[in-house]
Amino acid sequence: MTNEAPASAAEAPQAPKPHAASITAIRAAPPKPRRLSRKTLMAGTLALGALIAFALVNGLSERDRSTSSDEDAQQSLQAANPPENIREAPANYDLTQLQPPAEDGRDYFWGDHAPSDAALADSEPAPTPQAPAQPSPLEAEADAARISSILFGERGSGARAPANNQTFTDSDRRSAFLNGQRGRDDGVLDAAYAPPRSPYTIQAGSTISAALVTALNSDQPGRVIAQVSENVFDSVTGETLLIPQGARLIGAYDADTAYGERRLLVVWNRLIMPNGWSIPLRGMPGADATGSAGLGGDVDAHIGRIAVASLLSAVLGVAANESEGDDGDARLSQSIGDAAAQQAAQTGSRIVDRELNVRPTLRIRAGARLRVLVSQDILLRPYPP
């Protein structure tokens, strides 16, 4: 009895372990990505390739227009009708007979029917009074040079004004600028040496660091707001705070841009302190962080629009050329096709010209660093007052 009990216990079936699939999943099944059908892509590619191949074959194939060209040539020869003066002219000049020389007392032009001298005298118009002869431009210039004074060493007289039809080039403007600067560093200034008007002055030549609060877009001119990013102290001692960090700058920018320009002209008109006090700046120029005039940003030259316009112009031209009739007898359809080709070419060129005339767009993001170039002395009070 004692031995059978353990054997029966050993032979007893054990409980099956739970399967891994019956365990509750913690994460949901990831979504399957959607993909394009390969069959659709292959069908679209084949259709596009067939269309391009058909266009190339049809455009490069030679058309049989010899019959139509011959018929057109014959019809043009038949319809040609020379004018009357050509039809009445001699076929050649071999049989042309020259008139004999005039005899004494016989007018060659009038022949035997010449009018009397009195009739000719009455028919002659009365002589009109002639204005006195004006000197030529060269003579007038020579006369002016003879009566003009000697200009060597004279500084009081300015440069001679150009003629109305004379245009200045870049080199002429540079030369005029250099000539205008000559002599300005000679001698002594006629201005008095003066002390600063106030110890609380930001003198000309200083800079005010700031950052843009509003973005700039050259499609339209507008106002711009910036915020002073660093404290500004007086120019004499550098110890008195005059403009605190956080002061606001109000200005304007010019949107008149041309092709190749990458900077916007910005001027500042007003400075507002955090305590509400303000002072006009009267159009002080703005510069970037390096001190270069204007602010630079991203340039959109609208290349995509120009490319689309060029492609549309080419498509219109090809479509109009393909609309010409292939039949030699269908002259009306050929004329319509020629007119459509000309109109399509004009329309395409106008579209391209319109897109080329679009000015580039300059965009400057908010937060861009800038500087205000102080061009005049600014008299302020210590902050806070």
132 upstream amide cis, omega within 30 of 0:
no
Taking residues 155-178, report their average pLDDT. 54
Is the pLDDT confidence value at 10 over 90?
Answer: no
Residues 67, 72, 75, 76: is their CA dihedral positive or negative? negative
Residue in 103, 124, 122 with CA at minimum distance from that of residue 112: 103
State CA 229 to chain mean position distance: 36
Mean pLDDT check: name the lowest of 110-124, 242-256, 333-347.
110-124
Q: In whole angstroms, how large is the CA radius of gyration of the chain?
A: 46
67 DSSP assignment: H
Q: What percent of the chain has pLDDT over 90?
A: 22
CA distance 104 to 107: 8
Q: Identify the pLDDT of residue 160.
A: 43
Q: Which residue has the higher pLDDT, 320 or 238?
A: 238
Tens digit of each residue's pLDDT (9 = 90 or more) over 111-160: 556 666 666 665 555 555 555 566 666 677 667 666 655 444 444 444 44
Taking residues 92-110, report their average pLDDT. 58
CA distance 323 to 62: 15
H helices present in 148-243, as ranges = 170-181
Q: Which residue has the higher pLDDT, 260 or 284?
A: 284
* Structural domain boundaries in the chain: 201-300+362-379, 303-325+333-357
State CA 10 to chain mean position distance: 98
pTM exceeds 0.85, yes or no: no
If 0-12 CB within 10 Å is exposed, 13-18 middle and 19+ buried, where does residue 295 land?
buried
Is the pLDDT confidence value at 13 over 70?
Answer: no
The model's confidence at residue 230, banded by pLDDT at 50, 70 and 90, is very high
CATH architecture under which domain 201-300+362-379 falls? Beta Barrel (2.40)
Q: Which two tokens stand for residue 28?
A: 């949901």
Tens digit of each residue's pLDDT (9 = 90 or more) over 193-218: 888 888 899 999 999 999 999 999 88
Question: Of 34-38, 101-105, 219-223, which has the strongest mean pLDDT?
Answer: 219-223
Q: Identify the pLDDT of residue 373.
A: 93
Q: What is the mean pLDDT of the chain?
A: 73
Q: Which two tokens stand for residue 304?
A: 């995509």
384 upstream amide cis, omega within 30 of 0:
yes
**C-alpha atoms less than 13 angstroms from C-alpha of 4 in its C-beta half-sphere:** 1
